[in-house]
Amino acid sequence: MKVSFSNYALGAGVATSLVNTAPEVRRSTGEALRSPGDLARFLDEHGLSPGPLKSAARPTGDDLRQVHALRGEIRDIMDTHAEDHAVDAANGVLARAGSRPVLLRNAEDGPWQWHVVTSQQASLAEELAVLTGAGMLGVIHTLSHSRFRACTSSTCEGMFIDTSRAGRRRYCTPDVCGNRLNVANHRARRRAGA
Ligand SMILES: [Zn+2]
């Protein structure tokens, strides 16, 4: 797999989505990655299978366990207030899968861009680590560490990386946590003391 540092939004988006599949994020939905099939669907929804991740063709139970562990690591990085510590940890994640820096261009006459390339033997979780690690570091480098934030919904423990131009995103999953009906229902339930 090769990951471009310029396209940090892809890895940051996958990091955000992955963190928000965890059971502690939304009690109403619980664990979103219960089986290898759930993981396959997650990768497919993010255009990673059968796309850039060769290892993603058919996830196994081992892959799922390793991705759950990686998910916890990514959450810890996003939740780290000290910028230097977040960068140290993300550098560690990026160094997996025998990754090395390579200067490549995507088209014959396109601009040269820095990529990180993983070894052929890399596991699914290692490739995801490199993709999300490059995304997180790209955001800190190009935007700011302040783009790692907690969801502002009072019913959600999610986190997200804001790669929008304006940087005013408030919710981890805007369709769910920022849904006006959900917000209004929650306020009504609180008023009713439920
Ligand atoms: Zn949320």
Q: Ligand 1 centroid vs 81 CA: distance in angstroms?
A: 19
- pLDDT, tens digit, for every residue of 50-101? 666 666 678 999 999 999 999 999 999 999 999 999 999 999 999 988 888 9
User: Is 167 contained in some domain?
Assistant: no
Q: Ligand 1 centroid vs 151 CA: distance in angstroms?
A: 5
User: Total structural domains in the chain?
Assistant: 1
CATH number, residue 40: 1.10.3300.10
- pLDDT, tens digit, for every residue of 119-128? 888 999 999 9
Residue 168 and residue 161 in contact, taking contact as beta carbons nearer than 8 Å: no
Q: For residues 64 and 192, what is the distance between their CA atoms, to the nearest angstrom?
A: 41
| Domain encompassing residue 42 | 2-145
Q: Ligand 1 centroid vs 89 CA: distance in angstroms?
A: 24
- pLDDT, tens digit, for every residue of 103-115? 998 788 899 989 9
**How many residues in the chain?**
194
Q: Ligand 1 centroid vs 111 CA: distance in angstroms?
A: 37
DSSP assignments along 42-105, one per residue: HHHHTT-TTTT-GGGSS--HHHHHHHHHHHHHHHHHHT--SHHHHHHHHHHHHT-TT-EEEEE-
Q: Ligand 1 centroid vs 139 CA: distance in angstroms?
A: 20
**Has residue 194 got a pLDDT over 60?**
no
Q: Ligand 1 centroid vs 175 CA: distance in angstroms?
A: 9
